[in-house]
Amino acid sequence: MNIRIIGGNNMKTRKFGIRDQIGYMLGDIGGSFVNLYIGSFFLIFATYVLGVSPYFMGTLFLVARIFDAVTDVIMGTIPDRWQIGKSGDKFLPYINISKWLLAASLLLAFADVSSFSTTAIHIWVVAVYLFFGVAYTADSIPYGSLAAVITQDPIERTKLSRARAIGGMIVGIGALSFVPMFIYDDAGNVISSGFFKVAIVFSILSLLSYTGLVRLTTERIRDKHSNGQKSEYRFTDALKAAMKNRPLIGMMIASVGSLIMINGVNQLAAIVFAEYYGMPSAFAINSIFMIAITAILFITVPKLVEKFGKRLLIIATAGFSLIASTLITMIAIENVYVFIVLYNLATIGSIVFIMIVWALVTDCLDYTELKTGKRYDGTLYSIYSFSRKVGMGIGAALGSYSLGWVGFVSGAKSQSAEVAAGVLKMYTGMPIITFVLILIGIGLIFNLNDTKTKAMYETLEERRA
């Protein structure tokens, strides 16, 4: 056994509490300021300001995810092989370095290079997006793996999962809702300089958030090898463990679905409200309504999980959302306020999944320890993270390609009514794919129900004692 828990008779550390939850939430806030801003507005910036074809952008998003297949796994193996710094922490030192790369990538992504030649613009867009991918990988892999070493308690891990979900939502449906105020004028035309101004603010907020993460969270589950010493790690063993981890495979498929909606829909949302409804400010109204729904779910989801279990709750809400999303795609809703209410209620299964997903991921990491007696947190999370990148890539590509399919004109100040109607159909139809994949991943493949999960942790607790 190569695992020890800090906090026994001979080693004292601060107990898990609200400080860890706030710190972990800040970590997701820091990443979301960069990831969600680029995910939601880089396509708009590239097509409207730089005049890049949506087909080119869609292809870039897909190719970048293939590139991530390599960088994700490499980054995942590094913390499993080597510890850096003197603290003995496995993941926090890496986050403390990668936060600077991530902030820099945001500034580069929204730099206005429209004065460059067409060829230079395309080279620049590819380079900065790939750099963002590397920076995001260097940050997200250690951060995602961190939850598994903060606590081994399933209830505490659920609290971390909820904290992470809330962190992303604070940015996704909070801060991002104000972005259209800076990138659109009163007539609905794009303001090119607004993108970079927002990037400056978000990069600073990202750095501050990650600083809070590093200072507030504590790693309690430690590998036995010393600082700077290479562990007895073999990538082939970790890969075999991942291939035999059925819950992890189910989570990967479900997460592909989840990220298709998050990235695809986020790219189209601002266009839908600006072009179809002629009301860019509705983007903020939509976000406010989502905040209200999220607040209600923040209170009710833990109680529902306690009563029905994580897996059953996801299956039930995803099933409802699949039916509701299909109906809302078939029916045209002309009133923007009615649309906002019905659309957000129809896709409620996505929010529930986001709130629970990270608790399920840590269950998957512990499942490997149950089967092998070893922990490969960094590597397994990097493999899982790749599935998220695939979902991000497919969602971003669908969002980009769909603009081309409906006749979107790059560089134009506004779009035709036919184009706007086509974008709306893609916006409402994309969640259908999401909920089908969630039901397949969680309903048919993921096999850790509440009874099996409790038995797993009882066994692990006995081994670690």
CB 61 within 8 A of CB 397: yes
pLDDT per position as a tens digit, 140-175 = 889 988 888 898 777 787 788 888 888 888 887 778
159's tokens: 């609290």
DSSP string, 377-444: HHHHHHHHHHHHHHHHHHHHHHHHHHHHHTT--TT-SS--HHHHHHHHHHHHHHHHHHHHHHIIIIII
pLDDT of res. 1: 43
pLDDT per position as a tens digit, 82-110 = 778 777 788 899 999 999 999 999 999 99
CA dihedral angle for residue 94, residue 164, residue 320, residue 268, rounded to 10 degrees: -70
Task: Report CA-CA distances (Å) from 54 to 82, 245, 307, 375.
Answer: 41, 38, 46, 42
Q: If you average pLDDT over every residue of the chain, what do you get?
A: 86
Residue type, 367: Y
* Structural domains counted in the chain: 1
In a domain, 350, yes or no: yes
The CATH number of whichever domain residue 202 belongs to comes to 1.20.1250.20
The maximal CA–CA distance of the chain, rounded, in angstroms, is 70
Residue type, 292: A
In a domain, 4, yes or no: no
pLDDT per position as a tens digit, 11-37 = 457 888 899 999 999 999 999 999 989
Q: Domain range holding 70?
A: 18-223+232-464
| Strand runs labelled E in 168-247 | 221-223
pLDDT per position as a tens digit, 188-217 = 778 888 999 999 999 999 999 999 999 999
pLDDT of res. 455: 86
Query: Is 177 or 92 the better-scoring residue by pLDDT?
Result: 92
In a domain, 438, yes or no: yes
In a domain, 176, yes or no: yes
In a domain, 33, yes or no: yes
In a domain, 394, yes or no: yes
pLDDT of res. 459: 85
In a domain, 7, yes or no: no
Strands 3-5 and 221-223, how do they pair?
A: antiparallel
pLDDT per position as a tens digit, 423-458 = 899 899 999 999 999 999 999 999 888 888 888 888
Nearest to 410 by CA among 271, 286, 276, 227: 271
pLDDT of res. 335: 93
- Using a cut of 0.75, tell me whether the model's pTM lies above it: no
pLDDT of res. 157: 79
CB 188 within 8 A of CB 414: yes
pLDDT per position as a tens digit, 317-330 = 999 999 999 999 99
pLDDT per position as a tens digit, 345-387 = 999 999 999 888 888 988 898 888 888 878 777 788 888 888 8
H or E segment at 212? Answer: helix 192-216
**7 pLDDT tier (thresholds 50, 70, 90):** low
Q: What is the torsional sign of CA 206, 212, 214, 218?
A: negative
In a domain, 419, yes or no: yes
